[in-house]
Amino acid sequence: MSDARTVLAEWQQRTDAATEGPWEHGDRQHVAGVLPEQFGDGKCAYCDRYGEPTWVGKQLINGKRMLAHAHESAEPWWDHGIYALRGAGSVLVVNDIDEYGYIADPDAEFIAASRTAMPCLLSAVENVLALHRPVHPVFNWQTGLHFEEPCPTCHGKAGVHECGCWGDTDIQFECFECIRPTDEKSRRYVPYPCPTVQAINDALLASEPSGSER
Ligand SMILES: [Zn+2]
Ligand SMILES: [Zn+2]
Ligand SMILES: [Zn+2]
């Protein structure tokens, strides 16, 4: 009987074995040798067209180790295949033609497993977010204290809204799960996003890839 930690460890292993991300559909990087006699001082074939290189260093170009540039464009040069961007040039992860060799086994296994792993991870996170969701207290002198979900139209923002809500200030939401009383009396105040949601946000919204060579 495996638990969440075991499942996560297995997916972690598969992820670590695959080529490091981020991956992109299509190649945005061109690498060319610096050839002063042909293109001018410290310039490669792409300098005039694409400006500053994103990387400068020694690279094997047509069998000769020489000074080279990597130039990166906003749009892919060609859109077949999947690439991982590196300073010194793209790493091919998946090609959809077999001319340049086949996809590496760890990458293929990672992609294949993702179709199953991704939905599982999504529902794991969604389950947590469904519990740790924003609510706000409403007091009714007949029924007492209860908690309401945010209005789907105005989301509790200050102002007078067509949905019928009005308020001078934004509603301060609390976390449905975290404020759940641990005994009959206690009512805790935990503003939303709570530490659990914040931890999920931090993980999902982290834009900088870790251990990147760039
Ligand atoms: Zn250049
Ligand atoms: Zn509203
Ligand atoms: Zn919470």
Q: pLDDT tens string for the chain (214 positions)?
A: 568 888 889 999 999 999 999 999 999 999 999 999 999 999 999 999 989 999 999 999 889 999 999 999 888 988 888 999 988 889 889 887 777 678 889 999 999 999 999 999 999 999 999 999 999 988 888 888 889 999 999 999 999 999 999 999 999 999 999 998 777 667 788 999 999 999 999 988 875 554 444 3
Q: Check residue 184 and give its pLDDT.
A: 66
**Domain match, 99 and 41 both:** yes
Q: Are 44 and 33 in contact (CB under 8 A)?
A: yes
| Ligand 2 midpoint to CA 201 (Å) | 25
**Domain match, 80 and 153 both:** no
| Ligand 2 midpoint to CA 174 (Å) | 17
Dist. CA 200–CA 192, nearest whole Å: 13
Which of residues 56, 82, 103 is at a domain's end?
103
Residues forming beta bridges with residue 159, ordered by sequence position: 167
| Ligand 3 midpoint to CA 205 (Å) | 18
Q: Check residue 1 and give its pLDDT.
A: 52
Q: Is 155 left (phi over 0), alpha (psi -120 to 50) or beta?
A: left
| Ligand 1 midpoint to CA 90 (Å) | 15
Tokens, residue 143: 């029924």
Q: Check residue 212 and give its pLDDT.
A: 41
For residue 149, give the ligand nearest its CA.
2
**Domain match, 89 and 146 both:** no
Dist. CA 92–CA 89, nearest whole Å: 10
Structural domain boundaries enclosing 57: 20-103
Which of residues 87, 103, 119 is at a domain's end?
103
**Domain match, 96 and 144 both:** no
| Ligand 1 midpoint to CA 21 (Å) | 25
- The residue among 35, 19, 26, 93 whose CA lies nearest residue 69 is 35
Q: Check residue 80 and give its pLDDT.
A: 86
| Ligand 3 midpoint to CA 179 (Å) | 7
State whether residue 183 is helix, strand or coil.
coil
pTM of the predicted model as reported, rounded to 2 decimal places: 0.69
Residues counted in the chain: 214
**Domain match, 99 and 154 both:** no
Which DSSP symbol is given to 100?
A: G
Dist. CA 80–CA 90, nearest whole Å: 13
| Ligand 1 midpoint to CA 94 (Å) | 26
Query: What is the number of domains present in the chain?
Result: 2
Residue 214 is assigned to a structural domain of this protein: no
| Ligand 3 midpoint to CA 202 (Å) | 14
27, with CB counted inside 10 A (0-12, 13-18, 19+), is: buried
Q: Token pair 């469904």 is at which residue?
A: 130
**Domain match, 32 and 96 both:** yes
Could you report how far apart the first and last alpha carbons of the chain are, in Å?
41
| Ligand 3 midpoint to CA 124 (Å) | 15
| Ligand 2 midpoint to CA 149 (Å) | 11
C-alpha distance from residue 29 to each of 36, 91, 162, 204 (Å): 21, 10, 50, 27
